[in-house]
């Protein structure tokens, strides 16, 4: 049994590295539907269930120090890729599709909670707020909301459970619908010229990620992100708090503003922000999983069912929106997966329609990173009042 904080961190990060290596080298379709980050979460959670480490003072201190300090730094780096000027080039129909997906997901959470709230344990709205952050943005947004609302790691087990099982099935459904594109367009009377124009504008765009990253870039990004984290936490300590807006909420908001602002400058073009933010994200997810336990997931079937209710409401609303605004199946599918799946899966769906459309999937997923944290907190506030 591990009792030393550094050994505990080393084991988690080493294990995460092995899983990512297997995903990279494997030809199996398993990782197409179950991303490495999900495998890491449930594998580390399994290790925690079998008490591979003990919650000693040293382990707890390492957990709090690393997770608390990396979270704002990760948010900052993640948003450096989100240049709002490029996102605006998606055009009105793409943006209508994206925001319709975000709003319909939020409505899905409200409808679901109204149906099942009597069956959930008190405070369950927090877990769903974190899930809303993930389904409007990505795993990084989910981690940000966990910190902002001080959600217990055992509750996060339900969040990750829904986020993996329901999400994986949703990806398969959207991929299976690709051959029905023409039929759907005929139903909605969609015009394909708008999509062609967007593709023309974005096809030659560089999405801000360089294949080669220099050492000085990584060092500069690491130093800046940690400085932003320290700066955000300092000011979060002196800003006013409420029962809903905590110090962590303020630090996440400050890091978000800093990342979105610098993304529109030359600093946002520095290579390596994607790689470095992913290192931090996978570390944070591993740490969250290390405090959870499968024995605490007694209500798992109910939560999984709740996730499907959210997706059903989302799908029905998107069909109505598509009919009203004459959106094609590609726009609806990418808008949905850019929210629910993020940058890891939206480009995969885009590629199934045509490789030239991959930049559209990437940019829409980036927009999710910007609104995910705020959207999830807003959903959480509504659920808390119910």
**pLDDT tens sequence across 326-377:** 888 888 998 998 888 777 677 778 777 776 676 777 778 888 888 888 899 9
The span from the CA of 205 to the CA of 200, in Å, is 10
The residues pairing with 2 across neighbouring beta strands, listed in sequence order, are 53
Cα dihedral 358, 363, 364, 370 sign: positive
Of the CA atoms within 13 Å of residue 237, those in its CB half-sphere come to: 6
3-state DSSP assignment of residue 330: helix
- Give the pLDDT mean for 283-290: 83
Between 84 and 92, name the one with better pLDDT.
Answer: 92
Q: What is the pLDDT of residue 221?
A: 94
Helix 153-176 vs helix 329-340: crossing angle, to nearest 10 = 160
Question: What average pLDDT does the segment 42-52 reach?
Answer: 85
Inform me whether the pLDDT recorded for 160 exceeds 50.
yes
Q: For residue 33, what pLDDT is reported? A: 65
* Interval 302-315: pLDDT, tens: 888 898 999 999 99
Section 36-61 average pLDDT? 85
With a cut of 70, say whether residue 48 has pLDDT above it.
yes
Reported as a pLDDT band with limits 50, 70 and 90, residue 322 is: very high
* Torsion sign (Cα): 295, 300, 302, 303: positive
Q: Which of the two residues, 190 and 315, has the higher pLDDT score?
A: 315
pTM of the entire predicted model:
0.74
Average pLDDT of span 261-290: 85
Q: Are 121 and 299 in contact (CB under 8 A)?
A: yes
pLDDT value, residue 1: 84
CA pair distance 168, 174, nearest whole angstrom = 10
Per-residue pLDDT of 19-31, as tens digits, reads: 999 988 887 777 7
Output the six-digit token pair for 371.
């609104």
Query: Rg of the chain over CA atoms, in angstroms?
Result: 20
pLDDT at 202: 57
- pLDDT attached to residue 207: 46
Q: Using CB atoms within 10 A of its CB, is residue 290 exposed (0-12), middle (13-18) or buried (19+)? A: buried
Q: What is the pLDDT of residues 201-254, one digit of tens each?
A: 655 554 444 567 889 999 999 999 999 999 999 998 888 876 557 777 788 788
**pLDDT-based confidence at residue 154 (cuts at 50, 70, 90):** low
pLDDT, average across residues 130-139: 87
Q: What is the mean pLDDT of residues 282-306?
A: 77
Closest C-alpha among 272, 279, 294 to residue 13: 279
End-to-end CA distance of the chain: 43
Q: Whole-angstrom Cα distance, residue 48 to residue 304?
A: 22
Mean pLDDT across the stretch 44-59? Answer: 87
Q: Is 180 exposed, middle or buried (0-12, 13-18, 19+ CB in 10 A)?
A: exposed
Whether the pLDDT of residue 295 is over 70: the answer is no
Least confident of 81-95, 136-150, 267-281, 360-374: 81-95
Question: Where do the structural domains in the chain lie, given as residue ranges?
Answer: 84-271+296-385
Interhelix angle for 273-289 vs 139-149, to 10°? 50
Averaged pLDDT, 4-23: 92
What mean pLDDT is predicted for residues 156-165?
A: 78
Give pLDDT, residue 208: 45
DSSP letter assigned to residue 177: T
Question: Which is higher by pLDDT, 68 or 112?
Answer: 112
Residue 116 pLDDT exceeds 80: yes
Q: Which pLDDT score, from 0 to 100, does residue 149 have? A: 84
Q: Is 188 within 8 Å of 327 (Cβ atoms)?
A: yes
Quote the CA–CA distance of 364 and 385 in Å, as a whole number: 31
pLDDT at 298: 59
Residues of the chain with pLDDT > 90: what percent? Answer: 21
pLDDT the model gives residue 200? 63
Candidates 93, 55, 300; CA nearest to 191 is 93
């Amino acid at each position: 049994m591990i009792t030393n904080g550094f050994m505990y961190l080393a084991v988690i990060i080493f294990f995460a590295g092995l899983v990512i290596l297997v995903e990279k080298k494997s030809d199996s379709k398993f990782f197409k539907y179950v991303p490495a980050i999900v495998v890491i979460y449930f594998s580390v959670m399994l290790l925690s269930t079998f008490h591979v480490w003990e919650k000693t003072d040293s382990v707890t201190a390492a957990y709090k120090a690393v997770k608390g300090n990396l979270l704002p730094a990760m948010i900052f780096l993640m948003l450096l890729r989100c240049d709002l000027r490029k996102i605006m080039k998606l055009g009105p129909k793409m943006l209508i599709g994206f925001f319709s997906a975000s709003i319909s997901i939020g409505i899905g959470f409200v409808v679901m909670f109204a149906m099942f709230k009597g069956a959930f344990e008190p405070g369950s709205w927090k877990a769903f707020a974190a899930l809303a952050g993930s389904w409007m943005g990505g795993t990084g947004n989910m981690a940000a909301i966990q910190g902002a609302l001080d959600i217990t790691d055992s509750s996060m087990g339900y969040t990750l459970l829904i986020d993996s099982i329901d999400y994986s099935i949703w990806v398969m459904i959207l991929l299976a619908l690709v051959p029905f594109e023409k039929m759907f367009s005929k139903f909605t009377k969609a015009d394909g010229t708008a999509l062609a124009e967007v593709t023309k504008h974005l096809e030659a765009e560089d999405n801000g990620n360089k294949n080669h990253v220099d050492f000085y870039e990584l060092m500069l990004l690491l130093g800046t992100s940690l400085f932003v984290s320290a700066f955000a936490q300092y000011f979060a300590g002196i800003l006013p708090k409420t029962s809903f807006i905590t110090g962590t909420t303020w630090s996440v908001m400050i890091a978000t503003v800093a990342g979105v602002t610098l993304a529109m400058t030359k600093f946002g073009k520095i290579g390596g922000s994607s790689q470095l933010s992913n290192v931090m994200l996978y570390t944070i997810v591993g740490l969250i999983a290390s405090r959870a336990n499968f024995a605490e997931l007694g209500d798992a079937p109910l939560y999984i069912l709740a996730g499907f209710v959210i997706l059903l409401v989302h799908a029905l609303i998107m069909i109505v929106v598509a009919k009203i605004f004459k959106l094609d199946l590609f726009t609806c599918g990418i808008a949905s997966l850019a929210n629910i799946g993020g940058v890891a899966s939206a480009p995969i769906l885009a590629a199934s329609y045509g490789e030239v459309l991959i930049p559209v999937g990437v940019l829409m997923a980036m927009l999710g990173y910007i609104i995910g944290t705020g959207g999830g907190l807003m959903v959480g506030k509504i659920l808390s009042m119910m």
